Amino acid sequence: MNTGLLLIFMVLIGALIGGMTNFLAIKMLFRPYEAVYIGKFKLPFTPGLIPKRRAELAEQLGRVVTDYLVTSDALEQKVLEPDFQQKISVMINQQIDQMIDHGYTLQDLILKINPNFKASDLEQELEQTFEKKIKRIYEKNKHLTISEVLPNELHEVIESQLPEFTSYVIQQIDQYLTSEEGQRKISESASKFLQTQGFLGNMVSSYLGEDGLAEKITPAIKMFLSSNETHESIQKLLEKEWIKFKEKDLESIRELAINIDLEERIAHYISNELNIKNYLEQPIGELFEDQMAKLKEEWVPKVVEFAFQKLSLQMSTLLEQLNLFDLVKQEVETFDVSRIERLVLEITKREMNMITYLGALLGGFIGLIQGVLVLLIT
């Protein structure tokens, strides 16, 4: 054989063997996916290296992730970063804007969390809560006097308002006297009184008539009410009654009410005044219109900061509860080997090809050396 052809043939054979060997070695990392049997005899090197060692690989990856990649210190540092918290705040504000644009109400938001929610159920629960709270307060303080229950500031406010309350009472009486009903009551009362005074009383009543009696008596009563002495007398009377009232305990006042459903009625009144259903059916954009800017600029960042500060303190416990090691291990063990192969080869395609080419280059070089040695020997 021609010397040149011999060398070329040896180089090509060596390159083919080297390239195919490396190519086969790369493939054997992943394939075959399952063990291959001929009868009861299992072929060696089956399954491939990664499928065969998948359990060990899963365990090692779990340790790498939990010990070096996703650690409590790293996560604590991340959640406390101002930039990260700002991004979360922006994301929350975007969600708020979307809810406002869609006209969501509080009831819509609650229904997303609890599809069985009913406003009537909430109102009933609130009433029951108010009632229980009022009863607990009463049972706890029923032997205390009003003076002991009410704060000193409220005492001072009530006592300072007594003069104005006195004026209000006198004003209401004066208005009643000048009303049609008040005039009629004065006429009837004066007429009855004069009828009890014999002949002279009957004569006066007949002369003036009921309307005339009211016209004559009303100015005198109004003059009496407008006098300073009357104002002072009524104010002193109210002050005495207030002092007596302060010394009564809650139990005695409760007995005066005579209504065994008093707590229930108070709770129902509070619930009606709150009008929960109206708030639930109102769009959140309208409900929080005045506070929306403050909510997004101040409250959301503060809530996010507070939440992540608390989360950072519990990060170690949280990771323990998540059991990240077992989670990663289970995911890797159940991961399709063919997908692992595709991912690895897509990432390392260029390097894997270079390894194959390098095997062919080395094989060709070895074939060249072998060819030279053959020529020298022969």
Q: What pLDDT, in 10s, does the model give residues 72-99? A: 888 889 999 999 999 999 999 999 999 8
pLDDT greater than 60 at residue 375: yes
Q: What is the pLDDT of residue 204?
A: 47
Residues of the domain holding 203? 126-279
Does 289 fall in a domain? no
134 and 250 share one domain: yes
pLDDT greater than 80 at residue 215: no
What confidence category does residue 206 fall into, taking pLDDT thresholds of 50, 70 and 90? low
266 and 323 share one domain: no
Q: Give the rounded percent of residues in the chain with a pLDDT score beyond 70.
A: 90
Q: Are 215 and 259 in contact (CB under 8 A)?
A: no
pLDDT greater than 70 at residue 201: no
Look-up of token digits 């997303």: 112
351-368 core/surface letters (b: 16 or more CB in 10 A; e: else): ebeebbeebbebbbebbb
Mean pLDDT rounded to a whole number for the chain: 82
240 and 164 share one domain: yes
69 and 133 share one domain: no
CA–CA distance, 15 with 35 (Å, rounded to integer): 30
- Which of 196-210, 304-318, 322-336, 342-356 has the weakest average pLDDT? 196-210
CA–CA distance, 81 with 310 (Å, rounded to integer): 14
199 and 145 share one domain: yes
What confidence category does residue 48 fall into, taking pLDDT thresholds of 50, 70 and 90? confident
CA–CA distance, 163 with 167 (Å, rounded to integer): 6
Does 116 fall in a domain? no
325 and 242 share one domain: no
239 and 337 share one domain: no
275 and 148 share one domain: yes
Does 238 fall in a domain? yes
Domains in the chain: how many in total? 2
Q: What is the pLDDT of residue 207?
A: 45
Does 244 fall in a domain? yes
Q: What is the pLDDT of residue 86?
A: 93
Does 209 fall in a domain? yes
140 and 261 share one domain: yes
174 and 264 share one domain: yes
More confident residue, 21 or 204: 21
225 and 341 share one domain: no
Section 262-268 average pLDDT = 83
Domain final residue pick, 218, 250, 279: 279
Does 305 fall in a domain? no
